[in-house]
Amino acid sequence: MLEKVTVCFTGFLTDISPFCSNLTKFFHYMPSLLELHLCDSTLEYLIMGGVPESPSTALNNIKSLKFLSMSLRNVKEVSGAVYLMTSCLKLQHLTIEFVSMHSRVNVEGVVEFLCAQSFLYGAVKLQRVEVNMFMGLEMEMEFIKYILAYAPVLEEIFFGILHISMFVRVNK
């Protein structure tokens, strides 16, 4: 019975199935997950074949979700992250490590996607968020706004800004 899974894919990924999302295939074999850590190109791989319309039951018990080396350049990757965050109904702790990028990267599609998201669905038990490699770029700010709107019981948020760390406790 797997409770904690860390997956790190790197390099060129080619499994694109028009019949079944890799997310569906991946979670089919892990019904008891409590912690999920995804790094490098893993999220990009999992969203190949599309984001499923209904969440996998394997996501129902996840309390801790980590996105390590997450890029906000790609709308599909961001939609996969949003899908996972909103599908983990018991999610309490979220960690995101952004990939450092230049502010000149065109991310209009990502910002538009995040602004268009409905904040009325998904996990509402998120209590602690840790954000590393935060640079304050527009798409990072929109992603953080999305998380804040989606987390009504948030107690703590931690920002790791390169060599500076900032901790914010949310007062109720």
DSSP lists the bridge partners of residue 9 as 40
Distance of CA 127 to the CA centre of its chain: 15
What is the per-residue pLDDT across 103-132, written as a single tens digit (0 to 9) for each?
A: 555 667 666 766 666 554 555 789 999 999
DSSP secondary structure letters along 67-93: EEEE-SS-HHHHHHHHHHHHH-TT--E
Q: What is the mean pLDDT of the chain?
A: 77
pTM of the model: 0.80
Q: What angle do CA 61, 16, 31 make, to 5 degrees?
A: 15
| Domain boundaries of the chain, sorted by first residue | 4-169
- Is the alpha carbon torsion for 14, 19, 22, 28 positive or negative? negative
**Average of per-residue pLDDT across 56-77:** 84
Q: What is the pLDDT of residues 37-58, one digit of tens each?
A: 988 777 777 777 777 777 777 7
pLDDT of residue 35: 93
pLDDT for the residue numbered 105: 56
Ramachandran angles phi, psi of 153, nearest 5°:
-110, 20
